[in-house]
Structure 1
């Protein structure tokens, strides 16, 4: 082969392209890198998942939902925290607080909203949380869809008490979830 300028340029181009392909594939086995992270928290009333007393509740949701701290607390039958003077729910009855809470997705992703399943939560249990259509939202298979940027729903609380129900039988806390993986399932 005759050595001229064109052949030299083609040869060098081939070497550069081959070397780049061999060395620049982007494949790697592992990377460890320390980076700084800044995470801000906000109260339930202005977070990415906003959980507040429902202003449209038939009555004053604030009588049963304490939002004076950064998270909500449902308080029923405690004279210290209730303006109503209520002493509790009826025995041998199902008491429902329809549309007690309002949940709004202020994030940029569509999510499914549900309450973590645990003992004494769900249909025919001590406590049940329901969506606007009055279907249970206990566990991820019953999640209600909240679209991104202000997708909203109201949540009802149902309390089932019989003659053997004691105040200590009720869960001390429940866990609300918003999960993009269960949206529209």
Structure 2
């Protein structure tokens, strides 16, 4: 269940919410000498201003490949380069794009909740199987463990709701 929360956090961090963050580039990989390598392993990524990302490659010959990878990505940002560094100006989000992002956030939140509930279901099935095998479980023990699994599930579902609400607020405020 904790892994589900971590995946959701990582995915939400890489969403473009109108603010520049190095996490925007986490999913972008660059073809570099026959290998696909994440940008953060080829360059230093910094945020000098709220809406500007600066990528400074360690190998200047990689600039063209990094620009191509950014253009091919779903970011929708056009890079500008001076031969030494690449600048990405993150544009302001439109109202329609904000609403689409909120829908996407809620959809991903629901998917995370389903994943957590599936984990609960799997745990309960394993507990019942253990009891049938004679694992020393009484009916009361089984009920207690099921209740504990439900409490844990409820806690993680609340955490997912909190994460989705926080990201939704961030998207709508900018």
- Regarding TM over 0.5, the answer is no
Structure having the higher helix fraction is 2
Q: Which band: TM-score by shorter chain? A: under 0.3
Structure having the higher strand fraction is 1
TM-score scaled by length of structure 2 = 0.24
TM-score scaled by length of structure 1 = 0.23
Higher relative contact order (CA 8 A, sep 6+): 2
